[in-house]
Amino acid sequence: MSAFLAYGRQTIEDDDIAAVAEALRSDFLTTGPRVEAFEDAFAEAVGARYAVACSNGTAALHLAMMALDVRPGEMVIVPSITFLATANCARYVGAEVIFADVDPSTGLMTPQTLQAALEQVGDRRLRAVLPVHLRGDVAELDRLAALTTQAGAVLVEDAPHALGSVAVFDNQKERIGDCRHSAMSTFSFHPVKPSPPVKAA
């Protein structure tokens, strides 16, 4: 007998299947009114002013770097524990990556580890800091944002693990994606990202 750990357990219901079938029978297989409806619904769900749909979380990170006009030779700070797309997006636009250490108990970039990474930047041009939220746990956005702004850079949240997370900063609730402390947040619909935690079978 062998046991398998499930990689993820998605919930697909009949109305999901019907919605896909309806799209397949419609005039638009890409673009079209469903994309706009999805963007509006997503922005409302996370409390953002705007949402832009793209093919996956990696493309979202790449577009974030392009939207900020990050250029070759400029610096981007990312945490040392993350999916490789967080660092790759900087490389896609020719920027250099500096890895910030993470808290060993949470895996998250912290104000202290960001401060140490900022010291490594020296007199090079830092353009962006990308904290990553992990398993629904949210990085200390208020303090990371303050340090980032002080360094003349822009905070972008890499948030695929935190769709639906809510944090409290200054006694105020912050929905991840509302971008109160960042210029942009990126998400992913890879099936293990928004799914609930896997329970043992």
Residue 86 interacting with ligand PLP (CB under 6 A): yes
Separation of alpha carbons 201 and 193, rounded Å: 19
> Given candidates 68, 70, 85, 126, which one binds ligand PLP under the rule CB under 6 A?
85
CA distances from 150 to 53, 96, 145, 169 (A): 31, 20, 8, 19
Provide, rounded to whole angstroms, the least separation between the CB of residue 187 and ligand PLP: 8
What does residue 92 show for φ and ψ, rounded to 5 degrees?
-55, -30
Residue 188 interacting with ligand PLP (CB under 6 A): yes
- Contact pattern from residue 37 through residue 56 relative to ligand PLP, giving x for each residue in contact according to CB under 6 A and a dash for the rest: -------------------x
Residue 76 interacting with ligand PLP (CB under 6 A): no
- Of 103, 111, 193, 194, the catalytic one is 193
Of 140, 150, 137, 129, nearest to 79 (Cα)?
Answer: 129
Is there a contact between 64 and 184 (Cβ–Cβ < 8 Å)?
yes
Our CB check for ligand PLP shows the closer of 86 and 110 to be 86
Which residue's Cβ lies closest to ligand PLP? Answer: 57
> Given candidates 81, 90, 132, 153, which one binds ligand PLP under the rule CB under 6 A?
132
Chain position carrying tokens 């297989």: 29
Residue 57 interacting with ligand PLP (CB under 6 A): yes
Conformation bin of residue 71: beta by default, left when phi > 0, alpha when psi is -120 to 50: beta
Q: How far apart are the first and last CA of the chain?
A: 15
Asked if 193 is an active-site residue, the reply is yes
Residues designated catalytic: 193
> Rule CB under 6 A: which residues touch ligand PLP?
56-58, 82-83, 85-86, 132, 158, 160-161, 188, 190
